[in-house]
Amino acid sequence: MTELDIRLTRYGSRVATELISATLADLSRRYGGDGDTTPVQPGEFDPPMGGFFVAYVDHVPAGCCGWRTFAEDETTAELKRLYVVPEFRGQGVARRLLAAVEEAARGAGRERIWLETGTAQPEAIALYEQAGYSRIPDFGHYKGYPSVRSFGRSL
């Protein structure tokens, strides 16, 4: 990897839509069905209540990640759609996207960040644990599913 550029992007933009489609296809392969049926509205990722980022490696879209304000607690950000294109995995793109989202959420006054992932994503669980996230009580759309794993950390 030579040059990594992370840009704030509209959730509904063409590049974001393509990466989100790839994210959902990956989740579908891992979990079946549509991959993720969590209700998401594009406007939830508009600043200052959220943000959506695309990482580019040498000007090629390499991954995405976003955050939105958690509906039940405006001091909490919810991380969504962290995804890295397969050919860019293992190069630190996910960690840099995670850091960009955390910085943006912190800058918008959020005190903590939460996320849902699952047992079919061991590499995601490892990333979150290495970044200082701890297990929290399940909270979101998949609360109660046996494979869900919820994590959080203070910002």
Q: Give pLDDT, residue 100.
A: 98
Burial of 105 (0-12, 13-18, 19+ CB in 10 A): buried
Q: What is the DSSP letter of 12?
A: T
Q: Give pLDDT, residue 38.
A: 86
**pLDDT per position as a tens digit, 61-112:** 999 999 999 989 999 999 999 999 999 999 999 999 999 999 999 999 999 9
Q: What is the DSSP letter of 145?
A: -
Q: Give pLDDT, residue 11.
A: 96
Q: What is the DSSP letter of 123?
A: H
| Domains of the chain, residue spans | 4-154
Q: What is the DSSP letter of 109?
A: T
**How far is the C-alpha of 25 from the C-alpha of 86, rounded, in Å?**
12
Matching CATH number, 4-154, of 2.30.300.10, 3.40.50.620, 3.40.50.2020, 3.40.630.30: 3.40.630.30
